[in-house]
Structure 1
Amino acid sequence: MTLAVAFFMTEAILMFSPESSLLSKYSHAAKTTGHGLLQAATVLCALSGFGAIWYNKELKHRAHFTSWHGTMGVITITYICVQILGGIALKMKWLVGKRITLAQNKLYHATSGLLLYLCGLTTLSLGIYSGWFTQRVQVPVQYACLGSVVILAFTVVNQVTKAYLAKK
C-alpha cells in the first residue's frame, strides 16, 4: 500500500508537472494515458495490500479497523475507488453531460485527487506510528519516513496549486 501511495499515486499526479514528471516532454494525451495507467497500478496495489491485511487479520482472528491507521486506510481505499470513477467520467465526457464544463470537471477532479492524496499520506503517517512499525523500526528511521511523507506532500500540493490556482 505504501508503494501505491508513495510511488504510483505520486508520479501519477506529478505526471502533469513540467518540473517533476518522468514524461515532461510528452503530449498532454500521453500524460493523461500515463496518469490513468499509474492510477490503475495504484488501485491494484492498494486493493492487493488491503486484501492481504484483511486476510491476515482473519487468519489471526483479530479485529479490523481498530486503530486510526486502519480507519484512515479504509476511508482512503474507499475514496480511491470513488476518485477513479471520477477520472473515468472525466475521460468519457459523455458520462458527465453538459451540466459542468470540462474545465470545471478537471478542477474538481484535481482538487478531489489532492484531498485523496493527502488522505493517503495521512494514512502512511499514522502507519509510521503504529505499534507494529514502532516495534520494528528505530526512531531515527521513523523520523526519516515521516520527513519523506512531508516532502511528498509539499511537492504535490505545490504542483497542483500552481497548475490550478494560477489559471483562476
Structure 2
Amino acid sequence: MSTPSKAKRKLRDGVADIASLWNSVVENHKGENPALQQRNLGMISRVLGILPHLVALMFTAYIVWIARPGSSLFSWHPTLMCLAFMVFMLEAVLLFSPISSVLRGAGYTTKRQWHWMLQACAVAAALTGFAVITTNKYMAEKQHYTSWHGLLGLIVCCAVNLSVAGGVSVMYPAIVFNMPVMLLKRLHAIFGTVVFLGGMVTMWLGLCSTWFTNNVHHDAVLALCFACPVIVLLYVMVQVGQKIFRRRAH
C-alpha cells in the first residue's frame, strides 16, 4: 500500500474514532440530572471563553518566534501586525463578550475605557508595522502594493483610522449632529467588524507569502496557522452579530 493511501486510511480511522468517542460521551450524558448538565454547560462555556485568547496568543507567539524581531527591518512588520490585530484589537473587541471578556465583572464605562486604550495601541502598532514594510520596500527598491496582501493591507490601515473616528463619535456624540447614539454604536460595531475581517483576510494572505512558507516546515503547523485567524474572526462576528440583533429585538 502506498504512503498516501496509508495516510488517508489513518486519517479516516482517526476521524471515525473521534466520532465514536463523541457519540459515547453524548450517550453517557443523556441520563444525567439537570444540575450536572448545567455544570457541564458552564464548563464548556468557560472553555469557549478562553479559546480565542489562547488561539490568538499562541499564533502571535509563533509568528514572533519565526520573525525574530530585531533581526532585520522586515522582522518588525509581522510582529507589529500580529500584535495590532491578534492581541490589541481582538482583546478590545472581546471586552464586550459575555463569555470571553477579561473584565466580565466590570461595568460598561470601565470596559469602554479599556476598549479605546487597546484600540489606540492597535492603531499605533498597525501604522508602525505599515511604515516598516513601506520603508523596507523603498530601501530594497521594490514596487509597493503589487500583491493582494499589500493592497488589502493598505486599505485596512486606512479603514482603521475611519473606525477610530467612528469610535470617537460614539464617545462624543455631539460631534455628529442629528444622529442617535445607538445608531452610532451600531454603525461603529459593524464597520469595526468589517475592518477586523479585512485584517484577518490580510493576515491570511500573508501566510501564503514566500517568507512564511519558507519558515514553516511542517504541514500540520501551516494548517493550524491558517485556522487561527478564521477561529478568532468567527468569535468576533458572532459576538457583534448577536449584540446587533439583540438591540433590534428590543
Q: Same fold (TM over 0.5)?
A: yes
Return the match for 2:234 from 154, 162, 165.
Answer: 154
Task: Give the corresponding residue for 1:39.
Answer: 119
Matches within 5 A, 1:1-168: 1-97=81-177, 99-138=178-217, 139-168=219-248
Instruction: Answer 1 or 2: higher relative contact order, Cα 8 Å, separation at least 6.
Output: 1
**Aligned pair count?**
167
Cα shift at 1:59: 1.1
The one-letter code matched in structure 1 to 2:185 is K
Please list every run of at least 4 consecutive aligned residues from structure 1 whose deviation after the TM superposition is greater than 4 angstroms. Answer: none
The one-letter code matched in structure 2 to 1:6 is M
Q: Matched residues in 1 for 2:135 and 2:181: separation? A: 41
The one-letter code matched in structure 2 to 1:123 is T
The one-letter code matched in structure 1 to 2:207 is I
Cα shift at 1:50: 0.7
Measured against aligned partners, the alpha-carbon deviations of 1:109-149 in whole angstroms (never above 9, x if no partner) come to 00001111100000000000012211222332221111111
Q: Matched residues in 2 for 1:84 and 1:142: separation? A: 33
The one-letter code matched in structure 1 to 2:216 is V
Measured against aligned partners, the alpha-carbon deviations of 1:73-119 in whole angstroms (never above 9, x if no partner) come to 0000000011101111111111012x221111100000001111100
Task: Give the corresponding residue for 2:20.
Answer: none
Amino-acid identity (%):
35
Secondary structure of residue in 2 paired with 1:167: helix
Secondary structure of residue in 1 paired with 2:97: coil
The one-letter code matched in structure 2 to 1:53 is I
Cα shift at 1:157: 0.8
TM-score, with normalisation over the residues of structure 2?
Answer: 0.65
**Rg larger in structure:** 2
Cα shift at 1:21: 0.9
Q: CA RMSD in A?
A: 0.9
Cα shift at 1:20: 0.5
Extract unaligned runs of 5+ from structure 2: 1-80
The one-letter code matched in structure 2 to 1:32 is R
TM-score, with normalisation over the residues of structure 1?
Answer: 0.96
Q: Matched residues in 1 for 2:84 and 2:146: separation? A: 22
Q: Matched residues in 2 for 1:126 and 1:20: separation? A: 27
